Chain A
Amino acid sequence: MRQPDNSKAGTQQGDGLAGKELLRVNNLTVRLNSTAGLVHAVEDVSFSVGEGETLGIVGESGSGKSVMARSLMSLLPKRATALRQGSIRLSGREIASLTERELQKLRGPAMAMIFQDPMTALNPVLRLSVQLSEPLQQHLGMNRQQARMRAIELLEAVGIPDAVNRIDQYPHQLSGGMRQRVVIAIALSCNPGLLIADEPTTALDVTVQKQILDLLSTLQRERRMGMLLITHDLGVVASRADNIAVMYAGRLVEIAPARTLFKFMQHPYTEALFNSIPRISDPSHTRLQAIPGRPPQLVKPAPGCAFAPRCPYAQQRCHRERPPMVKADDAGHLHACFYPVIRPVAAGVDPSALMQKRSGQ
């Protein structure tokens, strides 16, 4: 077995990243108050996103990915937030410590967010024209007429037919896919450098999902936006993200360029997640490799690796000691595991034999 690289990689990630660094998050930790106790929602998360680059963040529900996204925008309710520490640098500027007033100037022109549910993200009693014009008037100082013209252009840019008439409609007059296009149009209205898309297609049908994801990719390329694409579906990010980060129980467990991750996944959780998905290419009634047990609760997390109780390769050490993020062989590839998944391809051995050897450990 390949020995894990114990040289502390710490928070450094991405040696050969293209584009200027846009967002850098260092050691972000968020704890929330709940009736059950302190929830360790985000623990020591570090990553970076370059200009024009997409970072996919994958995790199951309750893994902390949405809390992390909201925390980047400082959108978490103050009363619920027991602790937020770490650094968030956007284009070199520290934004974690900004006041609400300063943040308001950033939300829109510097960073914007798309939420999961287009049914609730729009105000049901305001016409689209009002909701689209608001950021334009607020941030870009347009007058009502200018904002309306720009809003129509935005609707056309996100592929809404008959935008001139649609703009005076209310959200309930639009289908789910159309509403999500409006939400995207609002997010893009002030030309943000960074777009955070939190499960943008989870509430939509597959056919509409593909339309929306294609639209996001096109707009991103045109505007050279950095994008955080948050999803529970590995399939959504596989072909669209430059880098993919896998989150489990509030921590990043692996981060790598997309192709590297799929070819040389190192963390047992990434592997298990990947193997548990039914494939369209497999014949019917193929037995799925389910992950036993369920994700841990985040109140009073146990010491050691959070995945250890479900991990087929876990050893004594995994239950006692928390594995740090270490560098893997490939550029920009980090993982947090003492006993990373063996690379059958690189080692030139039969993968099934290796699996047997492992399970016999």
Chain B
Amino acid sequence: MTDMNTERQSDNQKPAQLRERDDIVLRVENLVVNFAVGKQTVQAVSNVSLDVARGETLGLVGESGCGKSTVGRAIMQLPSPTSGEVIFKGQDLTRMSGEQLRQTRTGLQMIFQDPISSLNPRRKVKDIIAEGLHIWRRPNQEARVREVMEAVGLDPDAAADRRPHQFSGGQCQRICIARSLALDPDVLICDEPVSALDVSVQAQILNLLEDMKQRYQLTMVFVAHNLAVVKNISDRVAVMYLGKLCEIGDTEAIYARPAHPYTRALLASIPDIDPDSNLPPDHLPLLQGDLPSPANPPSGCRFRTRCPHAQALCADREPVMQAVPGELTQGSLEQRSGKDHFVACHFPLV
């Protein structure tokens, strides 16, 4: 490890995990979101930088309270981040005026965790789906509504005139997806879209999202706490802990060779559905204790209070995101994108 790597990141130095590519649709740089809690300020998201290329799905994982949903919402400017940039197709959303933002944001759509409460119970399904089209006075609204309804597997003749309460949770999520697709967005931000659904329905919705991604050439940010779900849908994964990004990179690389002790602990906590294969991960160090309060995060590396490998350096200095050593020589990854695996840890597990 060179001195340059451990040096505190200065403002003009680009975070290592950001890629120099032409097809980056969404780039988030040094994102900070503060919330006022009484007299205190809680930094829910602290200096997060990531990017998503066209047609890619980025999975954002972490425990509840780690700021993953806040990142999703800050991209949408719901609310605007405290500082940092959100570059969507070359334009910074954080600097836009209200009207300009409204227009640009049609290219970014969002679906939420609870499909039933995110639909207006008093409106008909066709009106819910048509609302965006109506606001923007798009032509052929009726045809477009029928098209997206069919695309998500709802029968337009049977469902269009009904109201949300007449549908199950899975079908309501289909309505939400149809609504988000109506304006033909570039980026779909999914905030825990399947965690309120039963496993049998969860699989239907995950398959549907994959189909929609193909059909409408979507780029997705998929926020979830279930690591198996995230692996299934993502090309790249970003792991967050207490408002910080700890690891980001190619899905297969992160799941096969987690470099951050936190990622490894997360993977070890997943209950396995094969009764025989649960034995080996059990002797991995189990994560002790709870998430520290984000109002008063630990100094240095925020994970150090629960980390089995923490040393004095971890309390003194905050680790900077850097390419995972050794990953450069991995042939399979070389073929994909070179060296797509980054970790913020003084003592990465490689």
Contacts and interface: CB of A to CB of B under 8 A. Distances in A.
A77 B201 CA distance: 30
B273 A235 contact: yes
Interface stretch (B10-18, B70-78, B224-232): B224-232
A210 interface: yes
Identify the interface centre among B63, B171, B200, B233: most chain A CB within 10 Å of its CB: B200
Interface residues of B, number: 47
A284 B207 contact: no
Given A61-B198, A288-B232, A274 B203 contact: no
A235 to B, nearest CB: 4
B94 to A, nearest CB: 30
Contacts of A278: 203, 206, 226, 228-229, 231-232
B231 A284 contact: yes
A178 interface: yes
A197 to B, nearest CB: 14
Nearest to A257: B275
Contact of B273 (A175, A274, A288): A274
A294 B170 contact: yes
B222 to A, nearest CB: 11
Contacts of A233: 199, 271
Contact of B198 (A206, A209, A232, A287): A232
Interface string B196-238: 0011111110110010000000000000011111011111000
Contacts of B233: 284-285
Nearest to B210: A285
A206 to B, nearest CB: 4
Contacts of A272: 200
B234 A284 contact: yes
B274 interface: yes
Given A205-B225, A211-B288, A262-B275, 7 more contacts: A206-B270, A210-B268, A276-B202, A278-B203, A284-B232, A291-B200, A294-B171
22 contacts: A205-B225, A206-B269, A207-B63, A208-B63, A209-B271, A211-B287, A259-B275, A262-B273, A274-B273, A276-B200, A278-B206, A278-B229, A278-B231, A280-B227, A282-B231, A288-B203, A290-B203, A291-B204, A294-B170, A294-B171, A294-B200, A294-B201
* A-B residue pairs, 10 tightest by C-beta: A235-B271, A290-B203, A239-B278, A288-B203, A291-B200, A276-B203, A278-B232, A290-B204, A60-B198, A210-B269
Interface of A: 60-61, 175, 177-178, 205-211, 213-214, 232-236, 238-239, 258-259, 262, 272-274, 276-280, 282-292, 294-295
